[in-house]
Structure 1
Amino acid sequence: MKRPPPTEPLFTRQFIALGVSDLAYFTAVGVAIFALPLYVTGPVGGDEIGAGFAFGVFAVSALVLRPFAGRITDVYGRLPLLLGGTLLAAVSLALTALTEDLFVIIALRLLAGVAEAAFFVAGFAALADLAPANRLGEALSYNSLGLYLGIAFGPPVGEVLVQTWGFCIAWLGAAALALLAAALTLLIGETREDTSADPSPDLSPRRFIHRPSIPISIGFITSLIAIGGFLTFASLYAVRIGLSQASLALFVYGGVVVVCRIVFARVPDRLPSLPLGAAALGVIGAGLGLVAIWQTPVGLLVGVVIMAVGVSFSTPAFFSAIFSTATRSQRGAASGTASAAIDLGLGLGPIALGLIAGPFGIPWAFGVGAAIAVAGGIWTLLLQRRTRQRQPVDVA
């Protein structure tokens, strides 16, 4: 009886260090997610439109730089951008504590976008380096725990810091977490393999965009527009509908994603990526639509749970589909192109939905975000159908 081939290890020292570094970095981001809209509409004196713009503008610099960051990771390695991104994030967060001027905050958010581009792209490229090829979806699920645990625990940490010591300490606390993430990147070290023998034409320095990723990324963008709008206005909306703990909705969101990513970690490797992504978009739309219609604390939390279940599968599904189109030497470029979708979604979502929330109210913004996610699900299903039709048919 033939024995099955041994399974390559996933939980190596570097893999764990990458996950813990993600946790520290995204906990800092979680503090900012909670604090920023309240800071802009409070001490800064802005409104929902200003909060949406301040939240989403980081994506402008991140979007421009992500493809370049991807190419840099392929040429010079993952570690320089992992370390540089975390240090820039710490600077941006610390300086936010020193100002109540909206224009300065926007400038610092642009700097945060540079940090996001460097850290996120290099992190995903390192993850692809460290994960066994047949366990990439599982690796994405486990690695994303750092992100969603950060989003789950960052807002309550931010709420405690703001209520106890004020916004200044909250921003400085977030900066300290980013510095911790920087220290942890040194434990990861360099993960880039020697690609000098790879004959791929994409080794040209002029190739910053991984074109096969673009159609798949369009569907991914729609999920992030919906999620970006929710993250921007969740704490502000919770206050307005009378939820006693404003950070609870964000905590539930992150917690549900974490549980689902653990329980269903291997699902993305066992199901076709594009149909799974389309289904996830439909669930995200249903959850956010429920939040828009059922305007009570219970309605918010129920809708968040449904939406979070969809989010649990969307990122692993879309990134698995994207990385399946890339060779080893293209991983940085594919990561940069695909994660540019994150910038478009998290940038367009807060800004565009903020323009809706200003005159019409936050529930209307949530409703539009839900419709966009459903439209993305339809696009992804059509993409899957077109891909299947292009495959050769065996007529033997």
Structure 2
Amino acid sequence: MNKPIWTRPFIMTVINNFFMFLVFYSLLTILPVYVLDDLNGNEGQAGLVTTIFLIAAIIVRLFAGKILEVFGKRKVLLAGIFLFCIFTFVYPFVNSFFLLMVLRFVHGIFFALCSTVLMTLAADMVPAERKGEGLGYFAMSMNLAVVVGPFLSLALLQILPFKMIFLGLAVVLLIGFACSFGIEVVEEEKTKVSPKGRMTLEDIFEFKALPIAFVGFLTSLAYSGIMSFISVYAKSLGLFESVSLFFVVFAAIMLLSRPFTGRLFDRSGPSAVIYPSLVIFAIGLFMLSVTHTTGLLLVSAGLIGLGYGALLPSYQTMAIQKAPKERTGHATSTFFIMYDLGIAIGSFALGIVSSHLGYSSLYVVCGSIIIITIAAYAWVSKKRRGRQLETSEA
């Protein structure tokens, strides 16, 4: 009989993750408007509020695995969520762009710690034989936040000032912090400490997770084209009013397909999910490049949601499965370092592509990146099968 996934600690972990990403995506949506309207900034400054956040997150993820190992998951969980909440309360009192940048950098630090520890805890709680399904459900909390966060924050912006929305988001995190006390944490035995207390590359990376993390990097590189440019692309086509529907369809397809793809991962292995998902994702991106009607835009959204939605939890599961149990935190941080790096580099590099070739060509480039990703995953999968064969013969 299969062990249950939906235990009380797992549910509390999912709720916490949802609240954290709801705040993340809400701020991602309204802060550029806040910079332009209330702080009298320009478009470049509006983009920097996201860039500086991601830079902080990437830097901290380099050490997140070691931090979890040294301080323990429970302490990092409680301190991380509490401080992420406290600094959200600071937003209403920021009255200059410089102070906002400082706050975003600090906020990015605690976001990186919270997201790493929550993912690590979820991986610890899910039974080994149901890892794909369980982590797929966990990832649904992020998918739901992608829609609820921007939709809710933009709707509230029509009736409330920015400062009230910031306070409301902080209260949401306060509820999440209360829920975090219901998460039972099992600490692993500490691994050997580096000689003379020096940091080594093993303290930063889980090398066994790097190959699939690189595949995740390529995937997020292509996905950054959706995150950063879909709104302006739709506006250039005269379809700006359909952008909200794009994200609704995108998220709905992800949520509906997640239980099926998670079970398929556990039953038939990662390749049964990843190959079809990459192909569907590429088709969606190529279709997006020739979109000129709302119908085509929404079909593209469905294909991209179906393809991309199964990839992130599949990669995460593979990264965690490759690492020893006591190195789950390192594997998680390694994966997120590469994933965040793909988003950060993609947002910048694809912006240059769009300025020279246009948005339609941008999505051809994104689709081509996914074709390269298929080849990269085939190499990783071949190496994985080779190691499994060596193990079975030994």
TM bin, normalised by shorter chain, reads 0.7 to 0.9
**1:47-196 equivalence runs, <5 A:** 47=43, 50-99=45-94, 101-193=96-188, 195=189
Match of 1:217 in 2: 213
Check 1:248–1:164 CA distance in 2 against 1; reply closer, same or farther (3 A cut).
farther
Greater shift, 241-250 or 379-388, is seen at 241-250
Match of 1:3 in 2: none
Given the alignment of the two structures, is residue 10 of structure 1 paired with residue 5 of structure 2, yes or no? Answer: yes
- Percent of aligned positions with the same letter in both sequences? 24
TM-score, normalised via structure 1 length = 0.86
How far apart, in 1, do the equivalents of 2:110 and 2:233 lie? Answer: 28
Match 1:381 to one of 378, 381, 394: 378
How far apart, in 2, do the equivalents of 1:113 and 1:90 lie? Answer: 12
How many residues align? The count is 387
Match 2:317 to one of 316, 320, 334: 320
Given the alignment of the two structures, is residue 292 of structure 1 paired with residue 289 of structure 2, yes or no? Answer: yes
Cα offset for 1:215?
A: 1.3
Deviation digits for residues 14-45 of structure 1, max 9, x if unmatched? Answer: 00110111111111122123324444565544
How far apart, in 1, do the equivalents of 2:364 and 2:82 lie? Answer: 37
Match 2:335 to one of 338, 347, 368: 338
Cα offset for 1:180?
A: 2.4
Match of 1:247 in 2: 244
Deviation digits for residues 39-74 of structure 1, max 9, x if unmatched? Answer: 456554433x55544323322221121132112223
Check 1:100–1:176 CA distance in 2 against 1; reply closer, same or farther (3 A cut).
same
Cα offset for 1:138?
A: 1.0
Cα offset for 1:387?
A: 3.5
Check 1:58–1:138 CA distance in 2 against 1; reply closer, same or farther (3 A cut).
same
1 or 2, which has the higher helix percentage? 2
Check 1:320–1:304 CA distance in 2 against 1; reply closer, same or farther (3 A cut).
same
Check 1:388–1:127 CA distance in 2 against 1; reply closer, same or farther (3 A cut).
same
Deviation digits for residues 60-110 of structure 1, max 9, x if unmatched? Answer: 221121132112223322222223333343345444444575544443332
How far apart, in 1, do the equivalents of 2:372 and 2:114 lie? Answer: 30
Deviation digits for residues 137-158 of structure 1, max 9, x if unmatched? Answer: 1110111121111112111101
Match 2:28 to one of 29, 33, 39: 33
Cα offset for 1:170?
A: 3.3
RMSD between superposed Cα atoms in Å: 3.1
Cα offset for 1:350?
A: 2.2
Please tell me whether the aligned partners of residues 234 and 250 of structure 1 are also in contact (alpha carbons under 8 angstroms).
no
How far apart, in 2, do the equivalents of 1:279 and 1:40 lie? Answer: 41
How far apart, in 2, do the equivalents of 1:270 and 1:279 lie? Answer: 16
Q: Which runs of 5+ in 1 are unaligned?
A: 1-5
Given the alignment of the two structures, is residue 233 of structure 1 paired with residue 224 of structure 2, yes or no? Answer: no
How far apart, in 2, do the equivalents of 1:373 and 1:38 lie? Answer: 32
Q: Which runs of 5+ in 2 are unaligned?
A: none
How far apart, in 2, do the equivalents of 1:50 and 1:359 lie? Answer: 22
SS of 1:164 mapped into structure 2: coil
How far apart, in 1, do the equivalents of 2:88 and 2:141 lie? Answer: 19
Please tell me whether the aligned partners of residues 265 and 272 of structure 2 are also in contact (alpha carbons under 8 angstroms).
no
TM-score, normalised via structure 2 length = 0.86
SS of 2:42 mapped into structure 1: coil
Please tell me whether the aligned partners of residues 242 and 294 of structure 2 are also in contact (alpha carbons under 8 angstroms).
no
